[in-house]
A and B are shown apart, each in its own frame.
Chain A
Amino acid sequence: MIRTKKIESKPLNFFEKIYIIEVIRGFSVTLKHFFINLFFPSKIPTISYPEEKVLLPGNAKLKSRHRIKLRSDGTPKCVACMMCSTICPADCIHIEAAETETPVEKYPKVFNIDISKCVMCGLCVEACPEDAISMDTNEIAGGAYSRFSNFQKDGLFLTKNELFIKLKDEKISKLGAANRLENEYGERND
C-alpha cells in the first residue's frame, strides 16, 4: 500500500502574487549583508588561512597539529619506540632511531609527519608511552599551497624543526618511564 502525506501549502495572498513587494523584501536582506560586509569587512567570518590563524576554542586545541615535547635540557622526550608510527592508521609518521650518550640511549634522528595524510585521530598521542607526542599546538593544519613543502613555508610536511618545540609558558612534564630514568640519572649527575 502506498502511503502518502499531504502537504498543506499556504495559498499566496495578493501582495505575494504581485511579487514586486517580495522582491523588495528579498533585496532588503541581501543588501543588509552587502553593506554591512562592505563597510565593516572585519565582520566577515572567513579566515584567510594560512596568512591568518585563529585560536581554537575549548578542547578543540587538543586535536591540532602535532609536536614532540622537550625535556628541561632541550632534548626531545621521544625515545623512538615506533609506537605512534605503528598505530597510525594513515601511516603518516616516519621515524629513524639513533643512539645517544645519555642513559635514555635512543632518540629520533629523523621524525617526519606528512600532515596531508594525517586524519587527526589522535591515536599517536594515546599510544605514546613517554607522553612525548601531543597535539596541543593550537595550529590548524591545512589550506596549504604545496603538500611537500615545509610547514613553515605554508606546506604540509613537518620535520624535526617544526615538531620539537616548546610552547609558551609550558611546564616541563616528567611523565614517562625513560624520562623518569633520565631525570633520575640527571639528578644524580647534578
Chain B
Amino acid sequence: MEEFIKILSPEYINLTLSNILLNHKNDIYLIIETVLKIAAFYGGIMSLAGLLTIGERKISALMQDRIGPNRANIFKFTLWGLFHPMADGIKMIMKEDFIPKNASKILFTIAPVISMVPVLVVFAFIPFGNYLDLGFYKINFIILDSDLSFFLLIAISSLAIYGTFLGGFSSGNNWGILGAIRAQAQMISYEVVVVLSVLPVIMIYSASSLSDLTLKQSGTILGIIPNWGIFVQPVSFLIFFTAALAENKRTPFDVVEGESEIIGYFIEHGSMRFAAFMFAEYVEIILFSMLASIFFFGGWQVPYLNDQGFNLGSFFIPINHYLIVLMQLASFALKTVFFSVLVIMIRWTLPRFRFDQIMRLCWANLLPISVLNLLLTALIIRGIK
C-alpha cells in the first residue's frame, strides 16, 4: 500500500516523466520533427493539387483565348476564380453516392483509396530541401530517408495500377473494363521504360537514395554548367518525360480515359469516389514533377550555391544559412510548379495518340533507345574507371 501511494505521489510522477524526457530526448524531437514535416509537405502537396485543378482550367482557357472559370464567389468576391476548387469539392460531396447493381461492392469502394494511397506514400521518400541547422538540432528535409528509397519508390508507385484496374474491373461496366485493360497494358509497359530511363542517372551519380542523388548533383561540370542530370543524360530525360507522362495517363496518352469514346475506368464512379481518382491524377502530376526535378534538375539544388554561399569559379559571396535553406526550398517548389504547369500545357497542345501508336512508341522506340542508353552509359563508366 505504501509503495502504491509512493508511485501515485506527484513528486514521483514528475521524476519519472523528467527521466523519460531526458532519456528519450532525441526520440521526442524526431517525432515532433516528423509530424511537422508531414504536415508541411503533405499540406503543400494537397494545396498544390487543389490549385492545379483550377490551374488546368485557367491555363487551357488562356491558351484557347477564353477567360476560364470566374463565377464562383463568396459575397460577390471571386478572387480570380480561386474559389472554384472549393465549389467543386462541395458539389462532389453533395452528389449521390451510387454503386451500380453489377458492381462488386467492396472492390468498387476501395478502388479509389487504392489509387490514392501509393501515390501519397511515395512522397515520404522525396527530399524537398537539404537540412536546417537550428544549433541544438538538425532537421533533414525528407520524411523517410532510406538507402533503398529509389527502389522503394519504384515498387510502391507501381502499385497505383491496382486502383486504376480494380476501379474499372469492379464497376461491372464494359467500358470500364475496357478502360481498365487499356490502363493495365499502358501503365505496365511504360513502367519498364520509366525505370530503364532513370537507371543511367542512378549509375552515373552512384546513388540509390533520392537524397544522396540530389546531394551528388551539386557543383559544376567544366566550371560553368550545373552538374545536373539533364546535362549528363539528356536522352534519358526525354525518355523519362514521355514515359512518365504516359504512366500518368495524361492527354497525349489518354486512351485509358478516352473522354470522347469510353469514359474509362472510372465511368461508374460518382461523387467523392470520382474526386479521389481525379485528385490522385493531380497528385501524380506533382509526383512526376518532383521526380523529374530530382533526377534531372538537381532537386533542391540552386545553381552555383553550396553550403556557405554563392560560388562560381573564384567568385564567392557568403550567404546566411537560413537564407540558403529558404532558397533551396523555393528552388524545389519552383521546379515542381514549372513541371506541373508544363504537363498541363502539354495536355492542351498535343493531339492524342492512338492505342497502337502508344504501344509501338513504348516497345519499338523508347525501350530500345533506353536500353542502348543504359548500355552506353555503363560502357563509358567502365571505361573511365
Tell me the A residues contacting B by CB distance below 8 Å: 20, 23, 26-27, 29-31, 33-34, 37-38, 41, 44-46, 48
Contact = CB atoms under 8 A, between A and B. Distances in A.
Given A33-B64, A38-B62, A20 B238 contact: yes
Given A30-B345, A34-B345, A45 B65 contact: yes
A27 B345 CA distance: 8
Q: Which 6 residue pairs across A and B have the least CB separation, nearest first?
A: A37-B62, A30-B349, A30-B63, A34-B63, A46-B67, A26-B349
A46 B230 CA distance: 41
Q: What DSSP secondary structure best describes chain A's contact surface?
A: helix
B59 interface: yes
Contacts of B350: 23, 26
Contact of B67 (A20, A26, A34, A44): A44
Interface in B336-359: 345, 348-350
Nearest to A29: B349
B342 to A, nearest CB: 9
B101 interface: no
B95 interface: no
A21 to B, nearest CB: 12
B67 A48 contact: yes
B138 interface: no
Contacts of B59: 34
Which bracket fits the contact residues of B? 10 to 19
A37 B348 contact: no
Contacts of A30: 63, 345, 348-349
B382 interface: no
Given A20-B238, A23-B350, A31 B64 contact: no
16 contacts: A23-B349, A27-B345, A29-B349, A30-B345, A30-B348, A30-B349, A31-B63, A33-B62, A33-B63, A33-B65, A34-B62, A37-B62, A38-B62, A44-B65, A44-B66, A44-B67
Contacts of A44: 65-67
Nearest to A41: B67
Contacts of A46: 65-67
Contacts of A27: 345, 349
A33 B349 CA distance: 11
A31 B350 CA distance: 12
Contacts of A29: 349
A40 to B, nearest CB: 11
Interface string B231-248: 000000010000000000
Given A20-B238, A31-B63, A46-B66, 4 more contacts: A26-B350, A30-B345, A44-B66, A46-B65
B368 to A, nearest CB: 15
A23 B70 CA distance: 30
Contacts of A41: 67
Contacts of B64: 33
A33 B64 CA distance: 7
B55 to A, nearest CB: 12
A34 B67 CA distance: 11
Interface string B65-107: 1110010000000000000000000000000000000000000
Contacts of A45: 65
A41 B348 CA distance: 19
Nearest to A33: B63
Nearest to B238: A20
Interface in B181-226: none
A38 B63 CA distance: 9
A45 B66 CA distance: 7
B340 to A, nearest CB: 15
Nearest to A37: B62
A148 B217 CA distance: 66
Contacts of B348: 30
Nearest to A35: B62
B348 to A, nearest CB: 6
A38 to B, nearest CB: 6
A29 B238 CA distance: 21
Contacts of A34: 59, 62-63, 345
A22 to B, nearest CB: 9
Contacts of A38: 62
Nearest to A45: B65
A27 B346 CA distance: 8
A23 B307 CA distance: 39
A24 to B, nearest CB: 10
B86 to A, nearest CB: 20
A29 B348 CA distance: 11
